[in-house]
């Protein structure tokens, strides 16, 4: 359910049509998002996450800037940088700063904030972005338009 909400959150700007004119949509040209979401973790706890990015590349962070990723079971966890520049879950559930244990706070002191993709992984995203920009725009016509 959370993934569906997040996907809808990223895609909804694509469907903002107006009037009876022909609308041209290019998914990679939408403005980056930056909103705070209150997400329900698998264990029932809530965490405030700030997500930003576009259709191709996005990042999520806690309010205080620690990058988070979704693990295999849908739990938001703190991220660390992988060998190829990817972001991988560290096995520690993301929490709001006022709900962290002393052990979690000690660990996070060693973790850099605002991690981003680098290296091979970033190149893959850049290539995907370039391919999408080179692709023709999606055209939506109203039924009244010939």
State both tokens at 95: 């929490």
Using alpha carbons only, give the angle 77, 60, 121 rounded to the nearest 5 degrees: 90
Nearest in space to 79 (alpha carbons), one of 44, 116, 122, 32: 116
Residue 25 pLDDT > 50: no
The answer to whether 53 and 59 have CB atoms below 8 angstroms apart is yes
pLDDT-based confidence at 58, cuts 50/70/90?
A: confident
Encode pLDDT of 34-46 as tens digits.
678 899 998 899 9
Contact 41, 75 (CB under 8 A): yes
Q: Write the pLDDT tens digit of every residue in 122-142.
A: 788 888 888 877 777 666 666
Residue matched to tokens 């939506």: 140
pLDDT of residue 5: 42
Q: Is the pLDDT of residue 26 over 60?
A: no
First to last CA, the chain: 39
What is the SS3 assignment for 134? helix
pLDDT single digits (tens) 63-111: 999 999 998 888 999 999 988 888 999 999 999 999 999 999 999 999 9
**What is the side-by-side order of every strand in the sheet holding 58-62?**
33-40, 46-53, 58-62, 67-70, 76-81, 87-93
Structure token digits, residue 127:
């290539």
- Note if the pTM is more than 0.75: no
């Amino acid at each position: 359910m959370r993934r569906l909400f997040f996907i809808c959150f990223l895609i909804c700007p694509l469907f903002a049509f107006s009037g009876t004119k022909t609308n041209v949509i290019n998914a990679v040209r939408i403005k980056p998002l930056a909103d705070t979401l209150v997400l329900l973790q698998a264990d029932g706890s809530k965490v405030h996450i700030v997500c930003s990015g576009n259709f191709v590349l996005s990042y999520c962070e806690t309010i205080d800037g620690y990058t988070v990723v979704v693990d295999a079971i849908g739990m938001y966890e703190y991220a660390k940088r992988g060998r190829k520049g990817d972001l991988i879950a560290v096995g520690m559930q993301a929490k709001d700063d006022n709900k962290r244990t002393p052990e979690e706070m000690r660990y996070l002191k060693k973790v850099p904030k605002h991690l981003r993709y680098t290296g091979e992984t970033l190149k893959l995203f850049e290539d995907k972005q370039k391919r999408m920009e080179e692709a023709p725009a999606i055209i939506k016509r109203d039924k009244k338009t010939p």
